Amino acid sequence: MKVEGRVAVVTGGGGGIGGAIAAGLVERGARVVVADLDEHAAQRVVATLEEETPGSAVAVAADVSDDEHIRGLVERAEAEFGPVDLYFANAGVTGVPGLEIEDSVWEQSFDVNLRAHIRAARLLVPRWVERGEGYFVSTASAAGLLTQIGSATYSVTKHAAVGFAEWLSVTYGDKGVRVSCLCPMGVNTPLLYSGDASGHALGELATRAVTTAGAVLEPVDVAETVFAAMEEEHFLILPHPEVLEMYRNKGADYDRWLRGMRRYRQALEESTPTDS
């Protein structure tokens, strides 16, 4: 699919991957609603886009855990630019590391990392089926294909996001609805380093597990991979190609993979610097 002339919504668009996707969309001739919980961050992204291409983007403050906010995003896009062609469900939260996590934290993780995708699809997919086309891009994570050492909430909800994207494609892929699922490893955003700031040993371990597993990419490089995959209408978008080999190894011998992950976790724990 070509994005030129299309209308897009990008959640979590106030920076990082979302901001880079919004910029890439405008560069390619799309018009974009940039949504973020942080309204000022969304406005800064849009201000930059508008300097280059006036009339190309609008900023909206939105909490994607709220169904009415998602509906408001679509309505704003329709009012400003026309029917939504592309939806990037990119907003995400890392959650809290460990097992002893309050239910409210689990609920927030499910709301943002999974249910926000479901709510947007429930609103848009019937319209796309009627029109015969539309594109849903889910930002999951390599953690959704593999796992996330340290954070159960992140790992579980990202697995669920991959599963929902698969279901969408299977159910609506022959009705004009295209679906892609973005699964990067380390990307240079504040989200990657949130574990270090958590004050929790498992949070620090989560960050180190990602940063030592492969290259940490810049958001703009991830966005370029997204657009290349969309043009070919690939489902699985892997900015880190090595994730595919890891995923194959997991499926080929699950028990061996689990043993390897336990050894990796233990090695990370043993190499953790201690205060002197």
Residues with a catalytic annotation lie at 154
What whole-number distance in Å separates Cα of residue 4 and Cα of residue 126?
A: 23
How are beta strands 57-61 and 177-182 bridged, if at all? unpaired
Backbone angles phi, psi at 189, to 5 degrees: -135, 165
- Residue 229, token pair as written in the block: 């995959």
Q: How many CA atoms lie within 13 A of 126 on its CB side?
A: 4
- Residue 88, token pair as written in the block: 């990037």
| Sequence-distant (≥ 6) Cβ neighbours of residue 192 within 8 angstroms | 186, 207, 210, 211, 216
Write down the residue that tokens 């061996």 correspond to. Answer: 256
- Residue 60, token pair as written in the block: 């909206």
How many CB atoms neighbour CB 175 within 10 A? 13
Q: Residues 8, 12, 15, 21: what is their CA dihedral angle, to the nearest 10 degrees?
A: -30
Backbone angles phi, psi at 136, to 5 degrees: -115, 120
